């Protein structure tokens, strides 16, 4: 009883704080954007640069080029030998990495604040001056192929996702795997990569995001000094092919001898935040109440009530341009077939379309989501990652900082309006992962 009291008390006195990171913003004359998130906990910075180019921007037949280029960015410039970039960062006590997605390519270093100028000068250098030789290029190609074999080809679940994506997006470039198709990686040449680099790596196609113990003014000075002289390029607006009306449910089945656990995946094509803002926010709220792996409705239905599954969850990824995926994953209990799971899922989703949402429940779910923004501030890395990935995938700065308020505005009516649109089987792919007995 006492719990209940505490719960209610917090529920009423809590006001939603839109206090999400307080980013500061500046744009250099050459178009380079700068975002600073001050955090004075330790005398360090998470420094990152995000290029608005990802696998979805690749030319036809050249899949994998964005990710390959990310590898080559460590292979030397006019001033640095191959690998020297990483050695300098490490010698100065820094950690670093890079990531390529469908929408962006990002590079970051976590380092003492006194070394910020050093890493900014290194990033400025490799924005325009990478130098590649044929030997290094061919060597790195085998590294990328080994990466593909490790991450995708040896992993049945990743391989299934790759097949599902290629079926879910019939025309949108999201259908390609980020790492690239094996045969296309093998055929990439040095010229392809350099052309891509010259076209997209420019100050007016990049955002610097720094989270840490530093002020905007200090960053602007350093950015002027190191990036200020780099000339902007002509960057065309990103226009990607979009999805036509989809008329038929699709199904893919992957049989593997390397797994004992069958899995059912169901992907629905739904809009990104960029395409349909309010709808996307409603889907974020819905995916939490419906798909949370330990408290969601799907878990309750499949794991607890019907006792058909060992796990059941759903996830919605709002970032990107055009369409994205609402994904359901269910692992059946032993001796329950994927067909049984699928047929019950179809029945259950019909009920969900008719569902009347409870206002009090929705308020609690919204509060959960908003609380996550407080936890997200508990590391330098998270803030940097959230702002970088959102700004390069459909969100304005204001839309990121207003996110808690915008989530809070979502009503049961909004859910009533948008949720039934999700589960349209003509826009779906069902994926089966099935073990083969040896």
The CB-of-58 to another protein minimum distance in angstroms stands at 21
The CB-of-256 to another protein minimum distance in angstroms stands at 9
Does residue 55 contact residue 67 with C-beta atoms inside 8 Å? yes
245 touching another protein, by CB under 8 A: no
Please list every residue from 320 through 359 that binds another protein, using CB under 8 A. Answer: 331, 333-334
For tokens 């969900």, the residue is 352
Q: What are phi and psi of 339, to 5 degrees?
A: -60, -45
The CB-of-344 to another protein minimum distance in angstroms stands at 18
Binds another protein by CB under 8 A, chosen from 22, 43, 187, 249: 43
Q: Which two tokens stand for residue 250?
A: 């699709």
Of residues 114 and 413, the one with the C-beta less far from another protein: 114
435 touching another protein, by CB under 8 A: yes
Q: Among residues 33, 70, 123, 284, which one is catalytic?
A: 70
70 is catalytic: yes
252 touching another protein, by CB under 8 A: no
Please list every residue from 59 through 118 that binds another protein, using CB under 8 A. Answer: 74, 82-83, 86-87, 90-96, 110-112, 114
Q: Which neighbouring-strand residues pair with 252?
A: 431
Q: Which of 275, 294, 310, 270 is nearest to 419 (CA)?
A: 270
C-alpha–C-alpha distance, residues 171 and 174, integer Å: 8
Please list every residue from 162 through 221 that binds another protein, using CB under 8 A. Answer: none
The CB-of-436 to another protein minimum distance in angstroms stands at 9
Identify the helix (H) or strand (E) that includes residue 405.
helix 403-409
The CB-of-83 to another protein minimum distance in angstroms stands at 6
Give residues with Cβ within 8 angstroms of 122, minimum separation 6.
80, 85, 88, 89
Of residues 262 and 318, the one with the C-beta less far from another protein: 262
Please list every residue from 257 through 316 that binds another protein, using CB under 8 A. Answer: 257-261, 292, 294-295, 300, 303-304, 307, 310-311
Q: 246-261 burial string, b = 16+ CB within 10 Å, else e?
A: beeebebebebeebee
Mask for 359-398, x = binds another protein (CB under 8 A): -----x--xx--xx-xx-xxxxx-----------------
The CB-of-240 to another protein minimum distance in angstroms stands at 29
Listed in sequence order, the DSSP H helices in 175-276 are 182-187, 190-200, 216-227
Binds another protein by CB under 8 A, chosen from 70, 140, 323, 414: 140
The count of C-alpha atoms lying within 13 angstroms of the C-alpha of 60, restricted to the half-sphere facing its C-beta, is 4
Q: What are phi and psi of 194, to 5 degrees?
A: -65, -35
Residues in the interface with another protein (CB under 8 A) total 71
Of residues 77 and 103, the one with the C-beta less far from another protein: 77
C-alpha–C-alpha distance, residues 427 and 431, integer Å: 13
Of residues 420 and 435, the one with the C-beta less far from another protein: 435
Q: Which two tokens stand for residue 84?
A: 């020297």
Q: Which residues are catalytic?
A: 70
């Amino acid at each position: 009883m006492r719990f209940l009291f505490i719960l209610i008390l917090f529920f009423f006195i809590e006001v939603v704080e839109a206090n999400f990171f307080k980013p500061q913003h500046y744009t250099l004359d050459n178009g380079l954007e700068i975002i600073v998130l001050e955090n004075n906990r330790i005398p360090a910075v998470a420094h990152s640069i995000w290029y608005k180019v990802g696998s979805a921007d690749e030319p036809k037949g050249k899949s994998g080029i964005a990710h390959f280029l990310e590898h080559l960015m460590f292979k030397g410039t006019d001033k640095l030998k191959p690998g020297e970039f990483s050695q300098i960062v490490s010698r100065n006590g820094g950690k670093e990495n890079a990531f390529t997605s469908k929408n962006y390519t990002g590079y970051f270093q976590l380092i003492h604040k006194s070394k910020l100028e050093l890493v900014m000068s290194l990033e400025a250098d490799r924005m325009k001056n990478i130098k590649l030789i044929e030997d290094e290029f061919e060597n790195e190609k085998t590294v990328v192929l080994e990466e593909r074999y490790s991450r995708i080809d040896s992993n049945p679940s990743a391989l299934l996702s790759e097949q599902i994506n290629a079926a879910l997006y019939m025309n949108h470039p999201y259908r390609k795997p980020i790492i690239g198709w094996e045969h296309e990686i093998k055929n990439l040449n040095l010229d392809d990569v350099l052309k891509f680099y010259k076209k997209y790596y420019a100050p007016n196609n990049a955002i610097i995001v720094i989270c840490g113990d530093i002020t905007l003014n200090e960053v602007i000075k350093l950015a002027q000094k190191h990036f200020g002289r780099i000339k902007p390029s002509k960057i065309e607006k990103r226009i990607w092919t979009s999805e036509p009306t989809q008329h038929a449910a699709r199904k893919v089945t992957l049989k593997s001898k390397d797994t004992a656990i069958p899995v059912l995946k169901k992907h629905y094509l739904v809009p990104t935040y960029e395409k349909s803002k309010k709808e996307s926010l409603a889907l974020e709220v819905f995916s939490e109440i419906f798909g949370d792996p330990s408290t969601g409705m799907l878990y309750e239905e499949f794991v607890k009530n019907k006792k058909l599954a060992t796990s059941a969850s759903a996830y919605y990824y709002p970032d990107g341009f055009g369409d994205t995926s609402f994904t359901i994953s269910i692992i059946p209990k032993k001796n329950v077939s994927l067909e049984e799971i699928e047929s019950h899922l179809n029945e259950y989703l019909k009920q969900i379309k008719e569902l009347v949402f409870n206002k009090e429940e929705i308020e609690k779910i919204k509060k959960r989501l908003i609380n996550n923004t407080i936890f997200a501030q508990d590391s330098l890395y998270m803030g940097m990652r959230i702002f970088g990935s959102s700004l390069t995938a459909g969100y304005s700065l204001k839309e990121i900082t207003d996110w808690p308020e915008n989530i809070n505005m979502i009503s049961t009516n909004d859910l009533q309006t948008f949720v039934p649109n999700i589960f349209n089987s003509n826009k779906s792919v069902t994926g089966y992962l099935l073990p083969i007995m040896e």
